[in-house]
Structure 1
Amino acid sequence: MHPRHRSRPHTPPSCPRTPLARAALMLCLAAGTLALPAATRAQAAAQGDAVLRHEIPSGTLDQALNRFAAAAGITLSIDGSLTAGKTSRGLSGNFGVRDGLAHLLAGSGLEAVATAGGGYVLRAAPLLPSASDTMLPTITVTARGESEAELPPPYAGGQVARGGRLGLLGNQDVMDTPFNVASYTSELMQNQQSATLADVLDNDPAVRMSSRGRNTSVGGGDNFFLRGFGLGNRDISLNGLYGVLPYGTLSLETVERVEVLKGPSALLTGMAPSGGVGGAINVVPKRATDAPITRLTGSYASDSLWGTHVDLGRRFGEQNQFGVRANGVYRSGDTATSGQSVKLGAASLGLDYRGERLRASLDLGYQSDDARAASVGYRLAPALTAVPAAPKTGARFAQDWERRKYVDDYQVAQMEFDVSSSLMVYGAAGARDHRHSNYRTESRILNPAGDLATSPVNYPETSKSKSFLAGARMKFEALNALHEINVAASSLDTTAGYGFAQWAGTASNLYNPARIPDPLQAGAPFAGFLDTRKASETQLSSVGISDSISWNDDAVRLILGVRRQKISVDNYAATAPVNPRTSGYERTVNSPAVGLVVKPWNHVSLYANYIEGLSPGATAPADAENSGETFPPVKTKQKELGAKIDFGRVIGTVSLFELKQPNAITVPGSTPLAYRYVMDGEQRNRGMELSAFGELARGVRLLGGMTYLQAKQIRTQGGTNDGKDAIVAPRWIANVGLEWDAPFLPGLTLTTRVLATGKQYVNAANTLRLPGWTRWDAGARYRTRALGYPVTLRANVLNLANSSYWEGSAGSGGIVLSAPRTVYLSATIDF
């Protein structure tokens, strides 16, 4: 990519970004390619320095060398101390062994020397005769902040990047930010065959799913819990812009990075559209790389879900200024849940320009996600005394006629311009048109025996959104410190409508669901209306400003900032054909934040922050004495302390945090039968997070950690639930994932992952509990060559033991079942 100056050196060396999802080959080629690696290696050995085509992505130097050796069929001895901390820009084109090694090692200070046995060994290259003869004059550069178009490079192991976007603050190195962040790379998504955001965030020890989308018994979209608070799929941003990504479940074939911030983010991103405060999730779209990309992937998922993904990328111009990246995916078939079928079609086009001072991009996307016989979990009856045991996962739960279909069109244009070496301005505009068909059943669990009351319902939904963002970053020196001033203004306008119809209920059972005829075909009477009517108009606008102050070559950094957020909501009587406005409010609130990073030693960062999150204010119900009173947006306040250590190949983080969020309660009114609705209760979440990612040893990669959480209710109604656990907040969760490059077969990688979650309560009185659960996953991939092209075969199994458990809550008192054992196979060929 076009080189940009950095405002400060990163302490540990970094590696350039890794190209995304490799394209693929239909699975019918898989059996044939398994027999090719031995023949390829034998032919290369016979030809000595045979010229082969290589497509090796950028990454750590030892990864690049290992991939080259496996593809070229040579033995290469590598001393890990020589390659530690070194990176490679990768290799694209036709190379012999010697030329290929020379290109990969260029600038590393190393060379590969042939051995008597026909292999190669790595050693330090001899010094030039006179360093003084080639020494260049010192150049002093006044630099601005990093471009948003240039992603922080992958860290050792390639699964997690060195940093990510922090909204108002822009791209930040993980060691420089006073927050707990993780940025998952396309290499990780591709190797794990992640189909949804939920699949990616299964790697994060601070995240659990409240519901899952595709390929499960739910099918209602990916929704999350971070640090004990919910985050809906509507709160996911694209390059920092809210309100443009598809609802429900996002297809990852179009995605380069998934960036996760743990904790509230009002200063950094403004209020999320649905008011999620447990964290922030940002998606980075794919861009064309300097090396041409022509990739085809064929995939299979149990029970009989087949798919194809095409990924094309090219750059044009004398300096590769213009880029085009196109992705298309189609999948159709039956899932591992009995009776369920899905059909997915998605396409994206990313255009970009990167000049000396101007960088611009345009993203166009479409997604149609259609699931049949997809249920949405189970609600709990108020009189329920115990949650029944989970039924067998993968069984048939939904009716044949049930259907949920999400269709989204979205467009995003972005630009940034260097006014000078110390000032950059940027802007973005986006829009989304969303349609949602939602014809299904809704079930309520009545007793521990699993008896259900099941009603057919129809909840179609539409929405249109327009989103804008503009800002500036300026660097200057003052008072012996380096300052970076960030200013940004944003707005999001959303108009939403829905339909509502409900039919009479039917007795059923969790373990033996009743068959219910299609009520529309039967002409059964219903309450409500089938057409979609306007329900609300929401405008979110804000202005944020921050100053990042650093001293002593960034050994100390202080971040001060505040965002002023305005929330306007108009509600309409969707049940009336003429849609009269029934209520609304407009509120403005300020959200300050402060963060501190101190680096007492090389590769060690100590940090602290105070930051707030925002959710829409509550409105007193119609039967309260203060009926219609609206309250200011709810502030969730976080305090956090943490430490990060970069061991060179592994980064570890430990953080201690406390979040407090006000709740609404009722208090006595002016008469014995009256009450008032006030904001007075509180939920307090205290916890500790441990995480680590990187490369433990050459060919062994780690990604995992754990969270310990104490989420308590405080000042509850009449003190009834004081000190009890908050709902859907397990005391502990943990993830551990390992990858091992098998030395006995170059190109083979074996993987395993375990997820564990403690018990959690689903009602405030703590009488209804979901047991803890553990899930094992396993996988393997094999890199080889077929017909002269690089090929990767992948196999992953999720929920290896096919365990049945209640995974979590889908909100509104509902619980969701675990996904069944699912086998994913794919083959990727790079032309």
Structure 2
Amino acid sequence: MHPSRPERPRLLSRPTAATSPLAYATLLLCMGAGSLSMPSMGFAQGVQRAASVVRHDIASGSLDQALNSFAATAGVVLSIDGSLTAGKTSRGLTGNFSVNDGFASLLDGSGLEAVQSVGGGFVLRRSAAKPKSSEAAARDAGVTTLQTVTVTARSESAESTPAPYSGGQLARGGRLGLLGNKDVMDTPFSIANYTSELIQNQQAATLADVLDNDPAVRMSSRGRNTSVGGGDNFFLRGFGLANRDISFNGLYGVLPYGSLSLETVERVEVLKGPSALLTGMAPSGGVGGAINVVPKRATDKPITRFTAGYASDSQWGGHIDVGRRWGEDNQFGVRANGVYRDGHTSTSGQSVALAAGAIGLDYRSDQLRASFDLGYQSDDAKAAAVGYRLAPTLTAIPLPPKAGERFAQNWERRTYKDDYYVAQAEYDVSPVWSLYGAAGARNHHHTNFRTESRILNPAGDTTTSPVNYPESSKSKSYLLGTRVKFGALNAWHELNIAASSMDIEAGYAFAQWQGFASNLYRPVLVENPFQTGAPFAGFMDTRQASQTKLSSVGISDTMAWHDGAVQLTLGLRRQKITVDNYAGTAPVNNWISGYGKSVNSPAVGLVLKPWDHVSIYANYIEGLSAGATAPADAENAGQAFPPVKTKQKELGVKVDFGHVIGTIALFELQQPNAITVPGNAPNRYRYVMDGEQRNRGMEISAFGEVMRGLRVLGGVTYMQAQQVRTQGGINDGKSAIVAPRWISNAGVEWDTPFLPGLTLTARTLLTGSQYVNAQNTLQLPGWARWDVGARYLTRSFGRPLTLRANVLNVANRSYWEGSAGSGGIVLSAPRTFSISATMEF
């Protein structure tokens, strides 16, 4: 066995049954006085309560929360020393239990026990010591040889979901691709794992709504219920991440494009920084981070839940969520979710219809976990425009128009339709050896009949062109891997090997009509060009345009010493990228160009735990994007460059205070850029990868429950993103585009003492100014947004009922939120009200 280390003292602990040392002491004094004055009565009543059986429905979460909920329902007094429960979680409790049986179930595996006092109450203490095994005695004697390995628990399932942390908004850990599920304190990266509880309570409609909580993320565009009405796209640590780069349980290429419906999602897991070793190259080559969604699974407790909702201006809908398990050990499970919403949004003239559904089947046993997910999503947005592009001659960004005003034509329409299928399995060959695999597919269709506008001057004059740009794609994705745990060289090893492949065939059509003059503040309405028969350039039928194949093999070894106090991860991934381009504008799709390159991506991560509640970590990891090809008029025309490596160095500290986890991270990312240099002849040039963007910054974040009934979530990022070695050095030292120096998010939830069941929430988002051109002559001003909300837990007709209300952008502020890349700059979403009622059956 790997050597153990003595329990390390916690730097901070606090009593959780009382809010201060004085109150805690007073509680103990009262209990003692009561036991002296009425010893026989108190003890008799305590025994009577301990023997009574009561129904309990306690959700998973922090251990102290579960214990206090149990004590309140059972009608007993429980004294808790916060240092005993700090950082511990509970799986919850459902069913009829006596007091003693309930405490035993909740505390199983925690090393704690609840002991009844003379006064009839209960006191939490460490479990009585058991006789040591020969292995434990050997460890205590200092024996560190690893020739004999004894494992009593089966290997951790990659399908298992880490428990929520104190407060329930984030989880203790999440999936890290090749490395499987990792606790946040054992992870040499900055991660955030948002729970379904947060998604439901904030009534998050899209991934963008969830990531509004993250201080390392900003949106390059928002989808549903905004003036854009397209897909959610993100910036993490100053680099873009497209919505098609989101993975499903670690598998790329299967989730719907555009704006994912979150009614089918259990977790949203975010890794800050590149992830080539962990996940392989993302389909679109996003390198700022990785986002993974975890589907819902049936729980041991039956679920029948219906939610009716409304969002301004007049959008109504409903969501049904049903989950059941059956079999002798509840080994079979099914979870079904369906949602439909339709109506006008807060943007004038716009309406959106959403229909989505998913069924998740799963099987679990001691050795085998298997699942199959089937999903469909249809998103239909009418009068949905895109961002505004900028003319090369523009000298200043005009003031934003009023959020919520009408900007799109009546006939503009964007629809996304996706169906997807994913099968996954994991098998424990032995307690230390697991095999796993996954296969998935997606069919995607996107109709895109809209306008494109280019801002010409600070007065807001634009030239606007109708365009028809439908696209479709088919993708297949596969994953096969193994995980082995063993002892060697005085360390405990976890060896991971995985191979993945993805094949995407994409096609599109493109037609563009003659532009017309308009204005940001006084949009000009024109007739549908299809109805008028106006001439256009392009073609209407969708044709194959490209085929992309991504395949890779990754290997990692995580070594642990001193019972995990020192953890070192070493890894390497071999990635192959193949791209074939076809004549998409021609009636016959002839092959016109191709690209095939392979590259190795190493990574190293280190975690040091000088105390149980402190982790110091460092990493070097790379991100991958498809390499560029020299244009036809360059001297090196057609030269294909290797995949672009974005290199990250990071150093950070994480502290678990028992109910709050805080992280401070310092990072640097370097990404090569293509530039042109003089050629071998006059007026000729060569296309080379010799430029660079360098993003340096610091992130500070925290989440958890700072005191009973008060939860916090947020942080701040300071970043300096600079251009290095630019074309002819003209922009050297200038800021990179769409990379604000300061961004901050802060959210708070308060369970009101004056009305049990009522929770009030507030959140603010702050973003500094950002440049939108390399010359740094065009700048978007900084902005701030406030959101508020409330929810109330009660009962109706004998059933649990949760009422929720949220208001986004309370002040209805108008601002340029950011840049959508080729889509130009994007306007803020207007003030939006959302209310819902969820009934449990």
The alignment's TM-score, normalised by the length of structure 1, stands at: 0.90
In structure 2, the CA distance between the partners of 1:65 and 1:126, relative to structure 1 (3 Å rule), is: closer
Q: Which amino acid aligns with 1:666?
A: T
Residue 112 (structure 1) shift: 9.2
3-state secondary structure, aligned to 2:649: strand
Greater CA drift, 491-500 or 82-91: 82-91
The residue number in structure 2 matching 1:396 is 406
In the alignment, which of 135, 157, 163 is matched to residue 167 of structure 2? 157
Q: Does 1:361 align with 2:371?
A: yes
Greater CA drift, 625-634 or 487-496: 625-634
Q: Does 1:544 align with 2:543?
A: no
Q: Does 1:385 align with 2:418?
A: no
Residue 798 (structure 1) shift: 0.6
3-state secondary structure, aligned to 2:300: coil
In the alignment, which of 741, 750, 767 is matched to residue 740 of structure 1? 750
The residue number in structure 2 matching 1:794 is 804
Greater CA drift, 596-605 or 339-348: 596-605
Greater CA drift, 136-145 or 771-780: 136-145
Q: Does 1:208 align with 2:218?
A: yes
The residue number in structure 1 matching 2:123 is 124
In the alignment, which of 540, 565, 569 is matched to residue 579 of structure 2? 569
The residue number in structure 2 matching 1:18 is none
The residue number in structure 1 matching 2:503 is 493
Q: Does 1:648 align with 2:647?
A: no
In structure 2, the CA distance between the partners of 1:544 and 1:458, relative to structure 1 (3 Å rule), is: same
Q: Which amino acid aligns with 1:593?
A: A
3-state secondary structure, aligned to 1:237: strand
1:437-489 deviation per Cα after TM superposition (whole angstroms, max 9, x unaligned): 00001100000000010000000000000000000011111111111111000
Residue 632 (structure 1) shift: 0.7
The residue number in structure 1 matching 2:246 is 236
Q: Does 1:427 align with 2:437?
A: yes
Distance 1:77 1:301 in 2: 43
State how 1:202-601 maps to structure 2 within 5 Å: 202-601=212-611
Is 1:144–1:475's contact at 8 Å kept on the other side of the alignment? no
The residue number in structure 2 matching 1:31 is none
Distance 1:52 1:217 in 2: 52
Greater CA drift, 251-260 or 54-63: 54-63
3-state secondary structure, aligned to 1:489: strand
Distance 1:97 1:305 in 2: 47
In structure 2, the CA distance between the partners of 1:143 and 1:60, relative to structure 1 (3 Å rule), is: closer
Residue 90 (structure 1) shift: 2.9
3-state secondary structure, aligned to 1:234: helix
Is 2:353–2:379's contact at 8 Å kept on the other side of the alignment? yes
Is 1:538–1:567's contact at 8 Å kept on the other side of the alignment? yes
Distance 2:611 2:639 in 1: 53
State how 1:115-194 maps to structure 2 within 5 Å: 123-124=122-123, 141=151, 145-194=155-204
Is 1:142–1:422's contact at 8 Å kept on the other side of the alignment? no
Residue 141 (structure 1) shift: 2.3
Distance 1:73 1:306 in 2: 40
Greater CA drift, 332-341 or 136-145: 136-145
Q: Which amino acid aligns with 1:294?
A: T
Is 1:53–1:789's contact at 8 Å kept on the other side of the alignment? no
The residue number in structure 1 matching 2:113 is 109
Q: Does 1:671 align with 2:670?
A: no
In the alignment, which of 690, 694, 697 is matched to residue 687 of structure 1? 697
1:105-137 deviation per Cα after TM superposition (whole angstroms, max 9, x unaligned): 78863479999xxxxx97416999xx5899999
In structure 2, the CA distance between the partners of 1:348 and 1:760, relative to structure 1 (3 Å rule), is: same
The residue number in structure 2 matching 1:24 is none
Is 2:91–2:163's contact at 8 Å kept on the other side of the alignment? no
Q: Which amino acid aligns with 1:279?
A: G
Is 1:750–1:779's contact at 8 Å kept on the other side of the alignment? yes
Q: Which amino acid aligns with 1:163?
A: G
In structure 2, the CA distance between the partners of 1:340 and 1:84, relative to structure 1 (3 Å rule), is: same
Is 1:485–1:547's contact at 8 Å kept on the other side of the alignment? yes
Q: Does 1:59 align with 2:61?
A: yes
The residue number in structure 2 matching 1:754 is 764
Distance 1:339 1:8 in 2: 65
State how 1:710-729 maps to structure 2 within 5 Å: 710-729=720-739
Distance 1:809 1:247 in 2: 19
Q: Which amino acid aligns with 2:345?
A: T
Distance 2:782 2:803 in 1: 34
Is 2:348–2:406's contact at 8 Å kept on the other side of the alignment? yes
In structure 2, the CA distance between the partners of 1:705 and 1:126, relative to structure 1 (3 Å rule), is: closer
Greater CA drift, 662-671 or 464-473: 662-671
In structure 2, the CA distance between the partners of 1:305 and 1:122, relative to structure 1 (3 Å rule), is: farther
The residue number in structure 2 matching 1:771 is 781
Q: Which amino acid aligns with 1:59?
A: G
1:136-165 deviation per Cα after TM superposition (whole angstroms, max 9, x unaligned): 998952556421111111111111111111
Residue 356 (structure 1) shift: 1.2
1:698-720 deviation per Cα after TM superposition (whole angstroms, max 9, x unaligned): 11111111110000001101110
The residue number in structure 2 matching 1:627 is 637
Distance 2:553 2:820 in 1: 33
Distance 1:786 1:135 in 2: 52
Distance 1:779 1:494 in 2: 41
The residue number in structure 2 matching 1:90 is 92
Distance 1:458 1:11 in 2: 64
Greater CA drift, 812-821 or 231-240: 812-821
Distance 2:91 2:666 in 1: 37
Residue 84 (structure 1) shift: 4.6
Distance 2:688 2:125 in 1: 75
1:678-737 deviation per Cα after TM superposition (whole angstroms, max 9, x unaligned): 111100000001111111001111111111000000110111000000000000101111
Q: Which 5+ residue runs of structure 2 have no aligned equivalent?
A: 11-48, 137-149
In structure 2, the CA distance between the partners of 1:88 and 1:340, relative to structure 1 (3 Å rule), is: same
In structure 2, the CA distance between the partners of 1:337 and 1:471, relative to structure 1 (3 Å rule), is: same
Residue 561 (structure 1) shift: 0.8
3-state secondary structure, aligned to 1:784: strand
Q: Which amino acid aligns with 1:644?
A: K
1:646-680 deviation per Cα after TM superposition (whole angstroms, max 9, x unaligned): 11111111111111001011111233222211111
Is 1:62–1:698's contact at 8 Å kept on the other side of the alignment? no
Is 2:228–2:384's contact at 8 Å kept on the other side of the alignment? yes
Distance 1:175 1:9 in 2: 18
1:492-530 deviation per Cα after TM superposition (whole angstroms, max 9, x unaligned): 000000000000101000011100111101111100011
Is 1:110–1:122's contact at 8 Å kept on the other side of the alignment? no
Residue 75 (structure 1) shift: 11
Distance 2:451 2:5 in 1: 57
3-state secondary structure, aligned to 2:820: strand
Point out which structure has higher relative CO (alpha carbons under 8 A, 6+ apart). Answer: 1
3-state secondary structure, aligned to 1:217: coil
Q: Which amino acid aligns with 2:206?
A: T
Q: Which 5+ residue runs of structure 1 have no aligned equivalent?
A: 1-6, 14-47, 116-120
In structure 2, the CA distance between the partners of 1:731 and 1:346, relative to structure 1 (3 Å rule), is: same
3-state secondary structure, aligned to 1:776: strand
Distance 1:188 1:12 in 2: 32
Distance 1:257 1:9 in 2: 35
Greater CA drift, 720-729 or 50-59: 50-59
